[in-house]
Homo-oligomer: A and B are copies of this chain.
Amino acid sequence: MQLTRVGVFGASGYSGLELVRILERHPAVELVFASSERSVGARASPRLRYASGDACKKQLGSVSMVFTATPTESSLELVPLARASGVSVIDLSGAFRLTDASCYPTFYGFAHSAPELLKDAVYGLSEWKSARGATLVANPGCYATAVEMALLPLLQAHIIDARRIVVTAASGVSGAGRKATDALTFMEVDSDFRAYRTIDHQHLPEIRQTLATLGDSAADCTFVPHLLPMKRGVLATAVVRLAQGVSGTRVREILESAYANAPLVRCAACAEDVRIADVANTPLTIIGASTDGATAVITCAIDNLLKGAASQAVQNLNAMLDLPTDEGLPQ
């Protein structure tokens, strides 16, 4: 089989590191370059050394696909460049996730500089939207992935009140990216827990857009993220009102049915059986629900760097190459 030649921009961030690790072993891919400003010259893998972003841009002509595991601002510059060279892109930042360019100033803090590309972008939540045929994939955010994987089955089945969804979520520290700030030191993080961006997190418009377009057009959602004293993983806890007469059994049937053919998704017996420890370092999503008649609690756990970033990106690559969704993703 001819290998698809790919490159990675942002290869020494936490998501980029995971992505390189997977791509190095992926049977259908040849990793041609991996950019890192901080680690130029160091080994990205046994076969490849990091190069600067500028050096990698010059190699765009030699690949057919790139992953941009870069900050949103960098993606806004790199993605148009790659597309102009006819290279397909899987972008792991938030730069192309929102279809409405006017949301960017509020939630990302800048005006979008390439709004014409937004309509091309496929939102690559693989179990719900195939990237087959796409030339630009907006890889979902980590929180958004966990929330959407939990709620889309219930919204599509119309068994919950779509307008009254409350989600709190918690993430390991790697979700904040690789940087040395006061707030991310061990002294600040260890033995602490707190909420952040409670009202305006950048994944909120992404969640609302996806729940509405892939779930139920009436869907609305409140979302409160928290920071956990641990390295990786996301747990989303959704509290929803059940439609009249919907039993816990029915909720679980709908979840199981939605993911019956999804090799990387597991349904747990109840909300309590969903643990970050069971998904950390795996590409899996685990979802469970408990109910009391009127209310359902649905929990969903993923590894923020894998299903929330790198392994999700590889699921999108697999879709674009017409391969099984879990190709190259050992569980």
For this complex, into which size category does the number of interface residues on chain A fall? 35 or more
Within 8 A of B (CB), among A152-188: 164, 166, 168, 170, 172-174, 178-182, 184-188
**Is A222 close to B, CB under 8 A?**
yes
Q: Is the CB of B194 within 8 A of A231?
A: no
**Is A276 close to B, CB under 8 A?**
yes
Q: Is the CB of A196 within 8 A of B272?
A: yes
Chain B residues with CB under 8 Å of A297's CB are 195, 198-199, 222, 224
The CA-CA distance from A235 to B179 in the complex, in Å, is 26
**Is A47 close to B, CB under 8 A?**
no
Q: A187-B178, A198-B271 are in contact. Are A193 and B222 (CB under 8 A)?
A: no
The CA-CA distance from A190 to B226 in the complex, in Å, is 17
**Is A280 close to B, CB under 8 A?**
yes
Within 8 A of B (CB), among A210-253: 222, 224, 226, 228-231, 233, 235, 237, 239
Q: Which of B168, B186, B229, B330 contacts A185 (CB 8 A)?
A: B186
Q: Is the CB of A187 within 8 A of B230?
A: no
Instruction: Determine the residue in chain B with the shortest Cβ distance to A272.
Output: B196
Q: Is the CB of B229 within 8 A of A166?
A: no
Distance (whole angstroms) from the CB of A158 to the closest CB of chain B:
20
Q: A186-B190, A224-B297, A275-B192 are in contact. Are A199 and B231 (CB under 8 A)?
A: no
Q: Which of B168, B190, B230 contacts A237 (CB 8 A)?
A: B168
Chain B residues with CB under 8 Å of A301's CB are 194
**Is A290 close to B, CB under 8 A?**
yes
Chain B residues with CB under 8 Å of A231's CB are 186-187, 190-191
**Is A299 close to B, CB under 8 A?**
yes
Chain B residues with CB under 8 Å of A274's CB are 194-195
**Is A189 close to B, CB under 8 A?**
yes
The CA-CA distance from A271 to B270 in the complex, in Å, is 30
Known pairs A187-B231, A200-B292; list 13 more (Cβ under 8 Å): A166-B166, A180-B182, A184-B185, A184-B187, A188-B277, A193-B233, A193-B235, A193-B275, A195-B299, A198-B290, A199-B297, A222-B295, A281-B281
Question: Can you offer 16 A-B residue contacts whose CB atoms are under 8 A?
Answer: A166-B239, A170-B226, A178-B187, A185-B186, A186-B190, A191-B230, A194-B272, A194-B274, A194-B277, A198-B271, A198-B272, A199-B291, A222-B295, A224-B237, A224-B297, A226-B235
